[in-house]
Chain A
């Protein structure tokens, strides 16, 4: 029994190392001068921020950080606000076509995005939204996943609470945002984390609708920097941009890792 325990620990530590080391190597490599990059050392022989300075001079990375933040915050806010409104109507409202609408929402979740990708791009061209934030934000203000999550949590809230609020003269919007929201904070956090992460890590759609470098999101800019010729094949400079792209999520994850794991696991279980 003792021996198997030791083997389990060895395997777990080996696995843990294989998941951590590549990120550690990326950070170390980004502060290592290009000439010494050939060696894999646990600690850099000398630390230099040359790679970062060179990267700053080549791409508007901080501008893209701001762009990504604007896009991710806007779409997350939209998904939470609209998602709770529609989820509430589906859970507590009584209107014609309610069941049909719910069926359609569930169906859209199974619809592969390969169908809508090209037509949606055409739509952006016709709306003259190419190279504007509108193309990045407006199509992602609603999410079927969020609506279903909110519908489910609102179904579990007793009608008495809502009736009492109505007697006090609350309108439906005030009921949702002031009476019900404080009761469903875990769901808001889950939907918020998932929407923010999806938005932050999205690359394909920005690559299609944004060509102006000053409007690019961070993963898009880093991708084009990695595959394009502007880094002059200098690995350290590319990795410096990757470190800045990963850093906000690494910091958020190290603080809120329990919420991240719970949220993404619950979305996996629903999907």
Chain B
């Protein structure tokens, strides 16, 4: 009986903040409600509106743009840095701690800094580009580039965590495998392709899944950097849910967006999982 007492705090939590919200979210999607007046039953209006909503599709495309840039960039940079750190290197701990610093700092701080780095005339990045003879880039004011800029910033912020995870993967390969390969006269690339890559495959999978979820959870970065602009080019899934609920007070419609996005996230993760398992 004592066990029921021990789990009771979680049961209360589960009922109030998980079960009820999930059920109520489904109920909300069939209603129109501005949270003050009475809820009004509208059938499947929210869903039919959603599929014709240009901004819903826009936010989905923006998220995919983010992921297409963010995931490969993150894997390549994290793997490269982990590979360098796996050599015999002085100050290994210092480098590791440095790469990890942006991971622990609030995204608010990181975004405020990068907003300045991305400035067209005053930003450090453009000043560097100009000093080596290249042109200025309209990082966050050009609608075709803004989401890519946010993806680059997110990579900079998160990559340290994945460096550590790849390091764990790299160090799990027994040294004698490489020695055996050396005896056989394997090239650097062959060793990477046939010994290292299979060992870090699970890490690549994990980075892909975590980054995908991160992309769908993107909020504070566009909120501070661009407010979702220019021309909604950085409107993320969560930012759109937030705007519908707390700028327009469309609670029912916002809940529908939340439900559909959650469904998409779970589908994407399942598909990725399936593709990676098939690959192996």
Interface positions of A (Cβ within 8 A of B): 5, 8-9, 11-12, 15-16, 18-20, 22-23, 25-26, 29, 38, 40, 82, 85-86, 88-90, 93-95, 98, 101, 104-105, 108, 110-123, 125, 139, 141-142, 147, 172, 197, 200-201, 203-204, 207-208, 219, 222-223, 226-227, 235, 238-239, 242, 245-246, 249-250, 253, 257, 260-261, 264-265, 268-269, 271
| CB < 8 Å neighbour of B161 from A111, A201, A219, A264 | A264
Please determine whether B241 and A114 come into contact, CB atoms closer than 8 angstroms: yes
| CB < 8 Å neighbour of B7 from A101, A265, A271 | A101
Determine how close the nearest CB of chain A comes to the CB of B250; give it in whole angstroms. Answer: 10
B237 contacts the other chain (Cβ, under 8 Å)?
A: yes
Nearest 6 A/B pairs, CB to CB = A119-B21, A93-B3, A116-B21, A112-B262, A89-B6, A142-B13
Interface SS of B by simple majority: helix
The contact sample of 22 A-B pairs, CB cut-off 8 A, is A20-B101, A22-B114, A23-B113, A38-B122, A101-B7, A110-B266, A110-B269, A111-B22, A113-B217, A115-B25, A116-B21, A116-B258, A117-B238, A141-B13, A172-B6, A227-B227, A238-B112, A246-B106, A249-B105, A265-B168, A268-B210, A271-B210
Please determine whether A119 and B95 come into contact, CB atoms closer than 8 angstroms: no
Please determine whether A115 and B161 come into contact, CB atoms closer than 8 angstroms: no
Interface positions of B (Cβ within 8 A of A): 2-4, 6-7, 9-10, 13-14, 16-18, 20-22, 24-25, 28, 35, 80-81, 84-85, 87, 89, 94-109, 112-114, 116-117, 122, 124, 127, 156, 160-162, 164-165, 168, 206, 210, 213, 216-217, 219-220, 223-224, 227, 237-238, 241-242, 245-246, 251, 254-255, 257-259, 261-262, 265-266, 269
Q: Which of A118, A207, A264, A271 has the most CB of B within 10 A?
A: A118
Residues of A within 8 A of B22 (CB): 111, 115-116, 119
- A127's nearest neighbour on chain B, judged by CB, is B16
Please determine whether B96 and A261 come into contact, CB atoms closer than 8 angstroms: yes
Residues of A within 8 A of B102 (CB): 19
- B127's nearest neighbour on chain A, judged by CB, is A40
Please determine whether A20 and B98 come into contact, CB atoms closer than 8 angstroms: yes
Residues of A within 8 A of B246 (CB): 208
Determine how close the nearest CB of chain A comes to the CB of B63; give it in whole angstroms. Answer: 12
Residues of A within 8 A of B254 (CB): 118
**A90 vs B10: C-alpha distance when bound (angstroms):** 12
